Chain A
Amino acid sequence: MQTIKTDFVLDAKGLACPMPIVRTKKTMKTLEPGQVLEVQATDKGSKADLRAWAESTGNQYLGTLEEGDVLRHYVRKSSGSDQEAPAFADTVDNETVEAKRTESDALVLDVRETAEYAFAHVPGAVNIPLGELESRISELDTNKTIYVVCRTGSRSDLACQKLSANGFNVKNVLPGMSSWTFETASTVN
């Protein structure tokens, strides 16, 4: 069973509805915007309810893994920074990335959290969460054109600014994974 890195794990196993969602709501209040929560539950109905709850509250439901009787739900707390207008000027749309991603000098860099990346990402994309970018910048190839993607273009905008200042050839992908309609890959399920 693959483990997905999260900021907090809530154990709601053995609890019947409504408690898994009540606990989730309470726990989410303690998380920082953008952080990811894993909710472990055994109530089968928690999957549809958690998804519906996340949608109605603006939080991001990432997916659910099933391991025997245990459901592991992943949900990311809504982040205010997603609403800011991108500042990095060199942008491309999703269609361009889909057309160019297999070219030999192209690299798709996904700067979302690992849990977001795990459930669905552009095939071949490399994952370095924004928070780890500084320490892992040496993993990237300066000779490549790097298409930086996140959910809505905000985190990738910050990543582009940082990478560009370090001499990388980067383009910010807009609107990003929230509107990605092409094939995706997954590292789970």
Chain B
Amino acid sequence: MSVNAMSAKEVTRKLINREPLFILDVRNADAFQDWKIEGENFEHLNVPYFDLIDGVDEILGDLPTDQDILVVCAKEGSSIFVAEMLEEAGRSVSYLANGMKGWSEHLEPISLGTLNETGADRGEVVQFVRIGKGCLSYMIISEGEAVLVDATRMTDTYLDYANERGVKITHVFDTHLHADHISGGREIAEKTGATYWLPPKDATEVTFDYAALEDGVNVKVGDTQIDVHALYSPGHTIGSTSFVVDGRYLLTGDILFIDSIGRPDLAGLAEDWVGDLRNSLYKTYRELSDELIVLPAHFMIIEELNADGSVAEKLNVLLANNHGLNIEDEEVFRKMVTENLPPQPNAYQDIRETNMGKMTPDLETQREMEVGPNRCAVR
């Protein structure tokens, strides 16, 4: 018997379109509680597959008859196992192809519109939404060239996309040394001959060559005036750097998010870096045009997605609404940032060392290191 597979892309479209979906998650309770597929109109039922080995009769009454049902597990084997039993019991269900592993690795490219409206080639910023983990990366395209920012380890997705669009990747940036996900930046640079840039203050221990991403660095994309301008904005890490793109977009990395701000502790230095974070958020960003559209490196909750699935908001809206940008008292800010920290991301030390080139774990290990939700923010 064959059961219908639903791809991570199809689930992503349902999520973005706010469609209803009933998710039967058959992973163990800890895994489910730690991290699950969330959508505005998604409902969940968690019953571990090992409680269903003898049959699914007990849960038939808990499954709706009037909406799509998706069975989800870690890799897909157990969800197929359960889905087949449900089909035999007369219920029509799908399973998530490649399970949460595939969900974690899916990147949804969403065009944010055009750049430099006066030019013949208007260029474009494409946001790659890693919907399962909340990571956001960017491809800035103009006149046959492209610049990548904060690329994930799913390097083929970017390379294929660049190929389809017929553009050559010339520069690859990481806004900081990531601790929550493995960067694909260096590998993409190696494969394409692009320059790989890292903030030197984050790169003191790296084992490879890189170009120094420092305040004021400027690169052009294509022949016209689409520029990508680096702005030193420490706080999440000591090297954290933002970008102003084409005078219209502000790529904030892990310093400022839509509904939260960055956490300064992932290298164990919350107390040292909180002052830098304050300065970046309350001085550096406030000296910029508040018409800039903020493009962060993460989203934390599904409510941060716009109607088209993108994650972007004007700086002046965030200055008015983001709690982390509205704490007058420096002491109160310091307390909030250092005392309300969520748990550290899974394997964050190993991830940092991998991004420094000190470790080269195999793909399966990389997947395990990245399991779980994103925890880069304080709210």
Which residues of A line the B interface, CB within 8 A? 16-19, 21-22, 25, 44-45, 48-49, 52-53, 56
Given contacts A44-B364, A53-B28, 18 further A-B contacts (CB under 8 A): A17-B49, A17-B73, A17-B74, A17-B78, A18-B53, A18-B81, A19-B77, A21-B53, A22-B81, A25-B50, A44-B368, A45-B74, A45-B75, A48-B30, A49-B48, A52-B28, A52-B50, A56-B50
Number of A-B contacts (CB under 8 A): 44
* 21 A-B interface contacts by CB (under 8 A): A17-B49, A17-B73, A17-B75, A17-B78, A18-B50, A18-B53, A18-B77, A21-B49, A21-B50, A22-B53, A25-B50, A25-B53, A44-B368, A45-B75, A48-B31, A49-B28, A52-B29, A52-B30, A52-B50, A56-B48, A56-B51
1/0 contact string of B341-369 vs chain A (CB within 8 Å): 00000000000000000000000100010
CA distance A19 to B78 in the complex (A): 8
A88 CA / B28 CA spacing, docked (Å): 40
A58 to B53, CA, bound (A): 16
> In whole angstroms, what is the CA distance A21 to B48 when docked?
11
Query: Closest approach, in angstroms, between the C-beta of B26 and any C-beta of chain A?
Result: 8
CB pair A48 B28 closer than 8 Å: yes
Residues of A within 8 A of B49 (CB): 17-18, 21
A136 to B53: give the CA distance in the assembly, Å.
42
Q: In the complex the two chains form, what is the Cα distance from A45 to B28 in whole Å?
A: 10
User: What is the minimal beta-carbon distance from A55 to any residue of chain B, in angstroms?
Assistant: 9
Total contacting residues, chain B, CB less than 8 A: 17
Measured CB to CB, the residues of B under 8 A from A are: 28-31, 48-51, 53, 73-75, 77-78, 81, 364, 368
The CA of A53 and the CA of B28, in the complex, are separated in Å by 8
Task: Decide yes or no: A16 and B77 within 8 Å by CB, A48-B31, A56-B48 being known contacts.
Answer: yes
Q: How distant is B204 from chain A, measured CB to nearest CB, in Å?
A: 33
Task: Return chain B residues, CB-CB under 8 Å to A16.
Answer: 75, 77
Interface on chain B toward A: helix, strand, loop, or mixed SS? helix
Cβ contacts under 8 Å, A48 to chain B: 28, 30-31
A74 to B73, CA, bound (A): 24
**A178 CA to B236 CA in the complex, in Å?**
43
A18 to B81, CA, bound (A): 7
Q: Which residues of B contact A21 (CB under 8 A)?
A: 49-50, 53
Specify the chain B residue showing the minimal Cβ separation from A45: B74
Q: How far is the CA of A149 from the CA of B81 in the complex (A)?
A: 42
Interface centre among B31, B51, B53, B81 (most CB of A within 10 A): B53
CA distance A49 to B81 in the complex (A): 15
Closest 3 CB pairs of A and B: A52-B28, A18-B78, A53-B50
